[in-house]
Chain A
Amino acid sequence: MSWPVRPTQQIGTALDHVAGMTLAAVLAVLWGLPLLYSVWTAFHAEKYSVQFDLTAPWTLQNFVEAWNAAPFGLYFINTVLLSLMAVSANFVLCTLTAYGLVRYRFRWAGPLFALIMVQMLITPEILIGPNYLTLARLGLIDTIFGVALPYLSSAFGIFLLRQTFKTVPASLDEAATMEGAGMWRVLWDVYVPLAKPVYLAYGLVSVSFHWNNFLWPLIVTNSPEARPVTVGLSVFATVDSGVEWSLVNAATLMTTAPLVLAFLLFQRGFVDNFMRIGIK
């Protein structure tokens, strides 16, 4: 679509172009419509929530009500803390493990790696039952740290970093060692810089995972002080006495707006940077 074509292909290309445009338009509308609908509902009184009367008055009342009805600010801070805690621990712990696996030789390296890889597929959410009991024994139920704990060490991160560290040329490592750099120096100066794109890609996946995670925090948290946004939203929108759509949508937009705004502000930089680095 972006490459030059020979003149004989032009009619076909025009057709392609129309087909591409149609596909693009259909997809973009399908993807955008539910969100636009949610925006409409959130900014209108309940009675207009399903009536598309263009003269209907816009209102911020739903946001005020939703904000007053539940501590969404607190939920949001909890989610940010949770994500930061998890991602920074992921970076540190996965880097250490991958470094140990790649740079050093020891007898059980193979089986150890296989053991680590188990978590890549049998992820903590599959083990919610026993993990709840473990967390209870540690006295960490209803804490943000408790929500994060099973995820701090991640096989996926170790796998990605190990693959990347393996591509670090031995000569670079040796040169640094010759110059007297110790274990930590070599890690920091040689290995970590080369893995920047992987950190970015993995960081994105990890943040998006914790931003999304619901079932485990639902089980582990009881009180608003530890509840992330996802659990707060579900508790707010529970349907025992009927759904007030305007309120639910206002709450949904309100809690997701900060991340969306951040993306809108930084999207050029973020996406470009992401793409320039590329993932291997």
Chain B
Amino acid sequence: MKLNRLLGTAALAAGLYGTTVSGVQAADLEFYFPVGVNAPAVETIQEMVDAWDEAHPEHTVKAVYAGNYEETTTKALTAAQAGNAPDVAVLLAIDIFTLVEEDVVAPFSQMATSEEDKAWMDSFIKGFTVDTVFGGETYSIPFQRSTPIFYYNKDAFREAGLDPEKAPESWAEMIEIGKKLVKKDDAGNVVQWGTRVPNLGLAGLWLLGGMVYSMDGTLTTDSGTEVQFNTDATLSAISFLKSLAEEGIMQPGGVTWGDTPKAFIEGNTASMWTSSGNLAFVNDNAEFEWGTAFLPGGNHPGASLGGGNFYIFKDTSDDEKAAALDLVKFMTSPENAAKWAISTGYVATSEAAWETAAIKDYTAQLPQALVARDQLPYAYREVATFQRKRVAQIMADALEAIIAEGADPKASLANAQSEVDKILADYN
């Protein structure tokens, strides 16, 4: 890094004396990114950023790991309002409405205008580009995308006399199979649950969205101004979720997101619904044979898409924007997208990335990783509206009230619906 800075300074000096080295102005980029605890993700980002830095000695880039998704968005927005915006950041794809409303991001469609650039912007898998567009402009580039998949313990399936190659496909099958997977000790206490579906907070809402989609509904529409929470699709998804606890298949009450992979590794649950981003963690720590499958669905499979995209901030000089754009192109190139997917379990965002030799080797060794890609046709974006955080919080609160307090589903949904309608009334 130091050497790069030195070279950068030298290049700048050369530029001042009229002998332009590269014809590009030096840019100092600040890049915010969010990831979880697993160290490989941070290391991989740093490696990729360093590689870009080395290839562009005239620029410097400082990658700042700013916390989880919500914190990173909060930080970037707060910093932007205070006039200290980062130049480029990976933020939740669904925060596009908030970022546009706060007028802090610059559209890629106005920066990347050459034919080559357009081809690049078209190279991403369609499911991921839905939430990059607002008002006809493309504001983000898919990068750190994930989708929940079904993980199951094949040894536990065998032990229960089930076919380890046949994961449950429908909710009915989930309940039937789940019952067989529950194990109790002599005192009658459960030592192994059938499954684990996180149902607390925004993560709970994320999974609920997929269930609703499998019933041919969506929690929010593409416009970002409409919520469809109080619907039959949501009610059936919730009644399935409740039945898991009622039938004794899942731990009653609130199920946390963060503890779920660990519960699976520990054999506390025979299966779990969680992000494809946990593939690496499970692969490193599971001491049993495990498989992945589509999430069981209502009418058909269904899942939410989640994760983060690249955004470039408005309050950035043209030179810095150009450098940032180059960095984004570099990070989302097929090779790097593949590398990123392999080290973390995030879903590679372009078809070309799935064609690289590296990812083919990887999926040959870890076929479980293919499920996330194959499930994409059944996946829809997560709850995305203006005022997303507040709207999503109201919906998550309603879900928690139903799950953890036994509130009446119909009434809770209706109540939440009218609250979010009030908030979104300003936008319609």
Pick from B36, B78, B266: contact of A241, CB under 8 Å: B36
Please name the 8 residue pairs, one residue from A and one from B, whose CB atoms are nearest each other, closest first: A241-B36, A239-B258, A136-B82, A242-B261, A69-B39, A240-B36, A238-B68, A235-B67
Q: Name the segment of B226-234, B245-253, B275-283 touching the other chain.
A: B275-283
Determine the chain A residues whose CB is within 8 A of the CB of B86 once the complex forms: 222
Contact for A239 among B37, B75, B84, CB less than 8 A: B37
**Apart from A70-B42, A132-B82, A239-B68, what 20 extra A-B contacts exist at CB < 8 Å?**
A47-B287, A137-B82, A141-B82, A222-B66, A224-B64, A238-B37, A239-B36, A239-B258, A240-B68, A240-B69, A240-B277, A241-B35, A241-B36, A241-B37, A241-B277, A241-B344, A242-B258, A242-B259, A242-B278, A243-B37
CB–CB B262/A243 < 8 A: yes
Interface size class of A (residues with CB under 8 A): 20 to 34
Query: Do B262 and A245 touch (CB < 8 A)?
Result: yes
Q: Is A214 an interface residue (CB 8 A)?
A: no
Which residue of B is nearest A133, CB measured?
Answer: B82
- Summarize B's interface: helix, strand, loop or mixed: mixed
Q: Is the CB of B38 within 8 A of A244?
A: yes
Number of interface residues of B (CB under 8 A): 42
Q: Smallest CB–CB gap between A87 and chain B, Å?
A: 27
Contacts of B344 in A (CB 8 A): 241
How far does the Cβ of B371 sit from chain A's closest Cβ, in whole Å?
17
Name A219's closest neighbour in chain B (CB-CB): B78
Please indicate the chain A residues that have their CB under 8 angstroms from the CB of B82 in the complex: 132-133, 136-137, 141
B265 touches A47 (CB 8 A): yes
Contact check, A241 vs B83: say whether CB atoms are below 8 A apart. no
- Contact call B281/A234, Cβ cutoff below 8 A: no
A residues less than 8 Å from B81 (CB atoms) = 136
Instruction: Tell me whether B84 and A237 are in contact (CB under 8 A).
Output: no
Contact with A along B233-272 (1 / 0, CB 8 A): 0000000000000000000000001111110011000000
What mask results when residues 224 to 248 of chain A are scored 1 for a CB within 8 Å of chain B, else 0? 1000000000111111111111011
The reply to whether the CB of A204 lies closer than 8 angstroms to some CB of chain B is: no
| B302 interface residue per 8 A CB criterion | no
Q: If A46-B285, A239-B258, A242-B261 touch, does A223 touch B64 (CB 8 Å cutoff)?
A: yes
- Do A243 and B277 contact each other (CB < 8 Å), given the known contacts A50-B266, A136-B82, A222-B64? no
Please provide the chain B residues from 1 to 52 with a CB less than 8 Å away from any CB of chain A in the complex. 32, 34-39, 41-43
A: residues with CB less than 8 A from B are: 46-47, 50, 65, 68-70, 132-133, 136-137, 141-142, 218-219, 222-224, 234-245, 247-248
- Chain B positions near chain A (C-beta within 8 angstroms): 32, 34-39, 41-43, 62, 64-69, 71, 75, 78-79, 81-84, 86, 257-262, 265-266, 274-275, 277-278, 281, 285, 287, 344
* B43 contact set on A, CB distance < 8 A: 69
**Given A47-B285, A69-B42, A223-B62, residue A242 in contact with residue B79 (CB < 8 A):** no
Are B84 and A142 touching (Cβ within 8 A)? yes
- Quick check: B84 and A244 within 8 Å, CB to CB? no
Could you tell me the distance between the alpha carbons of A245 and B265 in the complex, rounded to whole angstroms? 12
Which residue of chain A is the closest to B257 with respect to CB atoms?
Answer: A239
